[in-house]
């Protein structure tokens, strides 16, 4: 909270979730996973199990690197928008 005040932000965001909020996020995550399961058929026919294995691992590694860099930015400069705020700030101007 002290760091937020130094940056000029007033802490107004509630940092707790209700049961309905947790359930909503859980069902969204489950929906993504079940929706992606239909893409396995294409991957299995195109590259086989080995293609799926390496594809998932390589993509997951690079997504992990992106998540680490954005987490570092968000932890250094906390704001109410968090990740969305800093991605918007870092995007190139058009």
How many Cβ atoms from other residues are within 10 Å of residue 56's Cβ? 11
Domain ranges of the chain: 1-90
Q: Span 26-41, mean pLDDT? A: 73
pTM of this structure: 0.45
Which tokens is 37 given? 């399961």
* Reported confidence tier of residue 61, pLDDT bands at 50, 70, 90: very high
What per-residue confidence (pLDDT) applies to 58?
93
Contacts by residues 9-12 (CB-CB < 8 Å, ≥ 24 positions apart): 9/78, 9/79, 9/80, 12/80
Among candidate residues 59, 19, 69, 70, the one with its CA nearest the CA of residue 36: 59
Rounded Cα–Cα distance for residues 31 and 24 (Å): 11
Rounded Cα–Cα distance for residues 4 and 86 (Å): 15
40 and 52 Cβ atoms separated by less than 8 Å: yes
Residue with tokens 């509630």: 14
């Amino acid at each position: 909270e002290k760091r937020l005040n130094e940056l000029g932000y007033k802490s107004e965001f509630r940092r707790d979730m209700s049961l309905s909020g947790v359930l909503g996020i859980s069902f969204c995550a489950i929906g993504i996973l079940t929706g992606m399961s239909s893409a396995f058929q294409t991957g299995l026919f195109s590259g086989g199990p080995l293609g799926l294995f390496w594809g998932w691992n390589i993509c997951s590694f690079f997504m992990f690197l992106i998540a680490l860099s954005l987490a570092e930015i968000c932890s250094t400069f906390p704001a109410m928008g968090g990740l969305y705020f800093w991605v918007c700030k870092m995007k190139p101007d058009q």
